Amino acid sequence: MRKFYGIFALFVLCFVFGYGHMHFNTDKPPIYRDPAAIRNNFDFSHLRGDKLNEAVKQRLLTGMEFRKTPTGAGIGLGHFVFVNENGEKRLACQEFGTVSISFEAEGVSVAGDKPLMEVEGRCEFSPDMSKINPLNIPIAKIVGERPGDGEFQFNEGSMITVRFTNLPEEWPRTWLLKSVKLVNEKQSEALVIESDEVARYLGHPMVFSW
């Protein structure tokens, strides 16, 4: 009888060990987000051509948010669903991997040129899929450096690149939204909102103050 219980205990132990090994060493399936789960008013899959172009640009800008953080600020955009050129229904961040947002300094110029700031990061959507996650700018770290043309790269969470051009001797504190770009690196395609379109879609300039 003792021999039987010993064999049984050994069998259970081997089973548990084998299952645990298999469980922890098996790749977990990727999380798939269904475009159908997004809100209907952000679903532009029924639109084509100029109407689609207008709708997605307006959605990006009207969903734009500036969020202050203890060490900086985050810039988020509206998210949406559309049908790409291959006829596939896609979330914006499934089609476009990179977000680039450009600003022009307000009330400052260097030799007649406006200082420019470009913030670039990955296109990642929020849990409810209605927003593109903010690109978080560590302003405290930036202003702690001497102003100069060039770029900063930060990897605190998601990778962020901040580029500056035509900077004066002091950091500008007020920036005017100049353009928004979503980039598909694989197909060398981009969705671009130019500076003249910002005022047209929003009805007012978008100002970002440090």
With a CB cutoff of 8 Å and minimum separation 6, the contacts of 9 are none
- The answer to whether residue 26 is domain-embedded is no
What confidence category does residue 17 fall into, taking pLDDT thresholds of 50, 70 and 90? very low
Q: Residue 59: name the closest of 74, 39, 73 by CA.
A: 39
Whole-prediction pTM = 0.80
- The answer to whether residue 75 is domain-embedded is yes
- The answer to whether residue 12 is domain-embedded is no
In the three-class reduction of DSSP (H, G, I as helix; E, B as strand; rest coil), residue 196 is classed as helix
Domain housing 71: 32-209
Work out the percent of the chain whose per-residue pLDDT is above 90: 68
DSSP 54-108: HHHHHHHHHT-EEEEETTEEEEEEE--EEE-TTS-EEEHHHH--EEEEEEEESS-
- The answer to whether residue 5 is domain-embedded is no
- The answer to whether residue 153 is domain-embedded is yes
Token pair for residue 109? Answer: 């110029």
Which spans in the chain are helix H? 2-25, 49-62, 92-95, 139-143, 195-202
DSSP code, position 26: S
- The answer to whether residue 8 is domain-embedded is no
Residue 23 has pLDDT above 50, yes or no: no
Q: What integer best gives the mean pLDDT of the chain?
A: 84
- The answer to whether residue 24 is domain-embedded is no
For the chain, how many structural domains are there in total?
Answer: 1
Question: In 145-201, which ranges are E strands?
Answer: 150-154, 160-165, 174-184, 189-193
Q: What is the pLDDT of residue 54?
A: 95
- Tell me the per-residue pLDDT of 75-95, one tens digit each, with 9 for 90 and over: 999 999 999 988 999 999 999
- Tell me the per-residue pLDDT of 131-150, one tens digit each, with 9 for 90 and over: 999 999 999 999 999 999 99
Query: Mean pLDDT across the stretch 94-109?
Result: 96
- The answer to whether residue 21 is domain-embedded is no
